[in-house]
């Protein structure tokens, strides 16, 4: 066999091998639930191949990597069947309580090239990011929110933070949703202690509410009493002002009468004053002219005849003294 024949044989073999490789690796199909990345000499193309039949250069020039377009679920949390890993998901709340949570993350691949070549294990990156996001949000929440009506807010906060973390890592994964399945205390002993604390807190709130109610009642009573006192004071003020005005008017009238006739006014004032000071006093008209004391009792025995007038000065003097003493006693 000549050298030319050898070359021809080698050429035919190479052509056959190339045709065989082309027939075997020169085409590929992509399903509806898949997306493919074309790799040329180890470099991934930027564009993603859509579903259908496609052709490419044979291996090893070009190769194809396929990934699914479906939505995946990542379960992060406490599994009762794996007690040995329970400490992995225990976390501390903002009020320094311990709990464990069960979270489901729904995600999908949006950039196959980055998913395949930008991280050695993108799902582990997602798991670590989920752990960081959940622990961060739980650590800024109190235990009452996590166990009761704060789960919806925690889910939204975890979703926002996890999306930001995965965007920073840029491994071709997009977060669709997160669902907080269960949040519970780590064991029965902690659960009993928490129930005692909760009962004590409820008792405290009840006592505070009762005290606030009592305070409000007393406050309203004090306000009512204050208003009553102010009302009485206003009435007393008006009465005193009107009384003072009446006194001023009476004094002005008396002053005008005094200017017209001072002597008569003086006598009238004296008589009125005596009438006010001695309203129940007995009145005697006495006449001491001469050696005989004569008197006339007025009002002592209304309608009775006056007693006889005696000439005995001593008897009259004694009787005068008795009557004078009686007037002073009255």
Q: Give pLDDT tens digits for 128-154.
A: 999 999 999 988 888 878 887 788 899
Strands 173-184 and 52-55: unpaired
Answer for the pair 150, 98: CB distance below 8 angstroms, yes or no: no
User: CA dist 150 to 114, 144, 171, Å?
Assistant: 36, 8, 31
Which of the residue ranges 131-140, 171-180, 182-191, 249-258 would you say has the lowest mean pLDDT?
A: 182-191
Q: What is the pLDDT of residue 309?
A: 45
Q: Name the pTM for this structure.
A: 0.54
Asked whether the predicted pLDDT for residue 229 surpasses 80, the reply is yes
Identify the band that residue 127 occupies on the pLDDT scale cut at 50, 70 and 90: very high
The CATH class of 72-186 is alpha beta
Q: What is the pLDDT of residue 173?
A: 93
Q: Which residue has the higher pLDDT, 316 or 150?
A: 150
Which of the residue ranges 18-22, 119-123, 291-295 would you say has the lowest mean pLDDT?
A: 291-295
Q: Which of 27-41, 200-214, 306-320 ranks highest by mean pLDDT?
A: 200-214
Strands 173-184 and 98-109: antiparallel
Stretch 107-119: mean pLDDT, rounded? 89
Q: Which residue has the higher pLDDT, 3 or 219?
A: 219
Domain ranges of the chain: 3-68, 72-186, 281-329
Angstrom distance (rounded) from CA 126 to CA 158? 13
Asked whether the predicted pLDDT for residue 314 surpasses 60, the reply is no
Nearest to 164 by CA among 309, 156, 56: 156
Q: Which of 89-98, 207-216, 271-280 ranks highest by mean pLDDT?
A: 207-216
The owner of tokens 């800024």 is 140
Q: What is the pLDDT of residue 164?
A: 94
Cβ contacts of 241-247, under 8 Å, gap ≥ 24: none
**Residue 7, class by beta-carbon neighbours within 10 Å (0-12 exposed, 13-18 middle, 19+ buried)?**
exposed
Strand order of the sheet with strand 62-68? 43-44, 34-40, 62-68
Q: What is the pLDDT of residue 226?
A: 92
Answer for the pair 135, 146: CB distance below 8 angstroms, yes or no: no
Asked whether the predicted pLDDT for residue 177 surpasses 80, the reply is yes
Residue 114: CB atoms within 10 A of its CB come to 18
Q: What percent of the chain is modeled with pLDDT above 90?
A: 27
Phi, psi of 180 (to 5 degrees): -85, 105
Radius of gyration of the chain (CA): 59
| Orientation angle between helical segments 151-169 and 122-139, nearest 10 degrees | 140
Stretch 213-241: mean pLDDT, rounded? 93
Q: What percent of the chain is modeled with pLDDT above 70?
A: 72
Stretch 152-176: mean pLDDT, rounded? 92
Answer for the pair 53, 104: CB distance below 8 angstroms, yes or no: no
Q: What is the pLDDT of residue 262?
A: 87
Q: What is the pLDDT of residue 83?
A: 52
**Residue 126, class by beta-carbon neighbours within 10 Å (0-12 exposed, 13-18 middle, 19+ buried)?**
buried
Which of the residue ranges 3-7, 84-88, 248-252, 304-308 would you say has the lowest mean pLDDT?
A: 304-308
Q: Which residue has the higher pLDDT, 29 or 134?
A: 134
Q: What is the pLDDT of residue 303?
A: 46
Identify the band that residue 112 occupies on the pLDDT scale cut at 50, 70 and 90: confident
């Amino acid at each position: 066999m000549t050298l030319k024949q050898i070359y021809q044989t080698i050429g035919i073999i190479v052509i056959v091998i190339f045709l065989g490789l082309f027939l075997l690796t020169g085409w590929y199909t992509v399903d509806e639930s898949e997306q493919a990345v074309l790799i040329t000499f180890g470099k991934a193309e930027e564009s993603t191949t859509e579903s259908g039949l496609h052709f490419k250069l044979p291996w090893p020039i070009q190769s194809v990597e396929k990934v699914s377009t479906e939505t995946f679920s990542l379960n992060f949390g406490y599994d009762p069947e794996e007690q040995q890993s329970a400490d992995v998901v225990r976390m501390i709340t903002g009020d320094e309580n311990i709990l464990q949570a069960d979270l489901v993350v729904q995600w999908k691949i949006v950039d196959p090239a980055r998913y395949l070549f930008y991280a050695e294990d993108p799902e582990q990156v997602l798991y670590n990011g989920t752990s960081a996001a959940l622990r961060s949000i739980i650590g800024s929440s109190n235990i009452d929110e996590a166990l009761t009506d704060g789960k919806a807010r925690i889910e939204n906060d975890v979703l926002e933070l996890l999306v930001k973390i995965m965007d920073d890592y840029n491994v071709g994964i997009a977060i669709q949703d997160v669902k907080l399945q269960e949040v519970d205390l780590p064991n029965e002993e902690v659960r009993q202690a928490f129930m005692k604390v909760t009962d004590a807190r409820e008792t405290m709130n009840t006592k505070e509410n009762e005290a606030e109610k009592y305070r409000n009642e007393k406050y309203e009573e004090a306000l009512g009493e204050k208003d009553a006192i102010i009302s009485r004071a206003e009435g007393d003020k008006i009465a005193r002002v009107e009384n003072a005005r009446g006194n001023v008017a009476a004094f002005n009238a008396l002053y005008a009468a005094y200017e017209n006739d001072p002597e008569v006014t003086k006598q009238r004032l004296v008589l009125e004053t005596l009438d006010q000071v001695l309203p129940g006093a007995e009145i005697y008209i006495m006449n001491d002219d001469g050696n005989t004391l004569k008197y006339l009792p007025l009002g002592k025995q209304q309608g009775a005849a006056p007693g006889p007038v005696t000439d005995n000065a001593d008897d009259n003097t004694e009787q005068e003294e008795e009557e004078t003493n009686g007037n002073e006693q009255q």
